Amino acid sequence: MADRMSVRWFSTKTHLGIGWGLGAAICWAIDPVFIRWGLARFHSPLWGAALSLLACLGIYGGLLALRRRSDRLPPASILGWQIGAAILVALSTWIKWLALQEVPAGITLALGRLSVPLVVILSPLIIGRSLERLTLRLGIGAGLITIGTMLLIRSG
């Protein structure tokens, strides 16, 4: 009985995670097209990035306000990492806008995929192998992404 429940839990969690991942991929795929369109009419990557982050703040703030349970702030040891991550997201958003002002969306998106091999390599080193394992399959996949990125950039 417990064995069946763990399989069902894994399956449900896995499918939910894949669904959220696909949703994120769709949003990330459409986003650069809108950015390029906006930059063709108003040449300010900094304003665009700021508006993007303000939209995020509005959406996340609204979602937090609608939650039924109250979330406490994480402990200080974790909060520092989360603030660091937020700063990196803000910087990457602005840098993406700068890149999209200069090169086609396909090249910018392809370069963004280079984050996959970096995450695959750095995650086990930073957060530990118990949470993130580097497997042969993961390494091969990251390598293929890198090769594909280089092909897209060279053809772009």
Instruction: Give tens-digit pLDDT for 128-147.
Output: 888 888 889 988 999 998 99
The answer on 95 and 50 residing in a single domain is yes
The answer on 107 and 94 residing in a single domain is no
Helices 76-102, 2-41: crossing angle, 10 deg rounding:
40
Q: How many CB atoms lie within 10 A of CB 120?
A: 19
The answer on 117 and 140 residing in a single domain is yes
Is 39 part of a structural domain of the chain? no
Rg (C-alpha) for the chain, rounded Å, is: 19
Separation between Cα atoms, residue 14 and residue 11, nearest integer Å: 5
Give residue-wise pLDDT tens across range 21-74. Answer: 999 989 888 888 889 988 988 888 999 889 989 999 999 889 888 887 777 778
Give residue-wise pLDDT tens across range 116-129. Answer: 888 888 888 888 88
The answer on 156 and 110 residing in a single domain is yes
Is 40 part of a structural domain of the chain? no
Domain count, the chain: 2
The answer on 86 and 123 residing in a single domain is no
Asked if residue 6 has pLDDT above 90, the reply is: no
Is 53 part of a structural domain of the chain? yes
Give residue-wise pLDDT tens across range 72-88. Answer: 778 888 889 899 999 99
Q: What is the pTM of this model?
A: 0.74
**Domain C-terminal end among 79, 100, 121:** 100
The answer on 96 and 82 residing in a single domain is yes
Is 52 part of a structural domain of the chain? yes
Residues near 48 by Cβ (< 8 Å), separated by ≥ 6? 35, 38, 39, 42, 97
| 3-state secondary structure at position 78 | helix
The answer on 155 and 107 residing in a single domain is yes
What pLDDT does residue 144 have?
92
| Domain, as residue range, for 124 | 103-156
The answer on 96 and 107 residing in a single domain is no
